[in-house]
Chain A
Amino acid sequence: MTSSTGTPTGSLARSVQFLQRRHRFHWAEIIPWILAIAVFYLLPGYRLLATQILVMILFALSLDLIVGYAGIISLGHTAFFGTGAYITALMASNDIPDPILGLIAAAAGAAVLGLVSGWVLLRTTGLTLLVLTMAVTIMLQELANDFDEITGGFDGINFTNSEILGLIELDQLWYSSSYIYVLVVLFFGFLTIRTIVYAPFGRMLIGIRENTQRMSAIGTPVHQRQVSVYIISAAIAGIAGALWVQVQGNVTTEVYTFELSGEVLIMLILGGTGRLYGAFLGATVYKILESTTEQVLGTDEPYWQFAIGIVLILTVLFARRGLFGIFEDIVKKFKGASKGEVQ
Chain B
Amino acid sequence: MSSFLIEITTVLVFGLAFSMLLFILSVGLSITMGLMGFANLAHGSFAMAGGYVTVSMVSKTGAPFAVALLVSFVIVALLSILFERVLYRHLYRRPELDQVLLTIGIVFASIATVTFIWGPDPQLILMPEYLSGSVDLGFNNFPRYHIFMIVAGAIIVAALFYGLERTNIGAQIRAAVDNRRMAESCGINTGRIFTWTFALGSGMAALGGGLGIQLLGGIKPVFALEYLVIFLIVIAVGGMGNIRGTFFAALILGIIDFAGKFYFPEGGAFIIFAVTIIVLLIRPHGLFGKA
Partners in one complex: yes
State the Cβ distance, A206 to closest chain B Cβ, in Å.
Answer: 15
For A259, give the chain B residue with the smallest CB separation.
B225
B107 touches A309 (CB 8 A): yes
Complex Cα distance A305/B91, Å? 22
Q: Which residue of B lies closest to A262 (CB)?
A: B104
The answer to whether A134 touches B96, judged by C-beta atoms less than 8 angstroms apart, is no
Min CB distance, A104 to chain B, in Å? 29
Contact of B281 among A120, A306, A310, A317 (CB under 8 A): A120
- The answer to the question of B159 belonging to the interface, with a C-beta cut-off of 8 Å to chain A, is no
Check A309 against B105 for contact (C-beta < 8 Å): yes
* CB contact between A305 and one of B98, B112, B229 (< 8 Å): that residue: B112
From A124, A143, A309, B112 is in contact (CB under 8 Å) with A309
- Interface segment out of the listed B180-188, B191-199, B265-273: B265-273
The docked-state distance in angstroms from the alpha carbon of A308 to that of B284 is 33
Whether B91 lies near A316 (C-beta < 8 A) is: yes
B77 at the interface (CB under 8 A from A): no
Q: Is the pair B267, A143 in contact by a Cβ cutoff of 8 Å? A: yes
Cross-chain contact of B111 among A128, A130, A139, A305 (Cβ < 8 A): A305
The CA of A269 and the CA of B102, in the complex, are separated in Å by 11
Q: Choose from A128, A269, A301 the contact partner of B236 (Cβ within 8 Å).
A: A128
Say whether B232 faces chain A, with CB atoms less than 8 Å apart: yes
User: A73 — which chain B residues lie within 8 A by C-beta?
Assistant: 96-97, 100
- A303 within 8 A of partner (CB): yes
Contact between chains at A131 and B236 (CB < 8 Å): yes
A259 CA to B226 CA in the complex, in Å? Answer: 9
Given contacts A127-B33, A269-B101, A315-B101, contact A134 B108 (CB under 8 A): no
Q: How does the 8 Å CB contact mask read for A122-151 relative to B, with 1 for contact and 0 for none?
A: 011011101110111011001100100000
Query: In the complex where A123-B284, A128-B236, A143-B270 touch, is A312 in contact with B115 (Cβ < 8 A)?
Result: no
Q: Of all chain B residues, which has the CB nearest A76? A: B229
Are A313 and B102 neighbours in the complex by a CB distance under 8 Å?
A: yes
* Chain B window 267-288, contacts with chain A (Cβ cutoff 8 Å), 1 for yes, 0 for no: 1011001101100110011000
Give the Cβ gap from A64 to chain B, nearest Cβ, in Å: 13
**Which chain B residues border A85 with CB–CB below 8 Å?**
none
Inter-chain contact B269/A306, CB cutoff 8 Å: no
Closest CB-CB distance, A31 to chain B, in whole Å? 28
Q: Are the C-beta atoms of B112 and A303 separated by less than 8 Å?
A: yes
- 12 contacting pairs across A/B (C-beta < 8 A): A126-B96, A127-B232, A128-B284, A128-B285, A130-B39, A134-B232, A136-B273, A138-B273, A269-B101, A309-B111, A309-B112, A317-B102
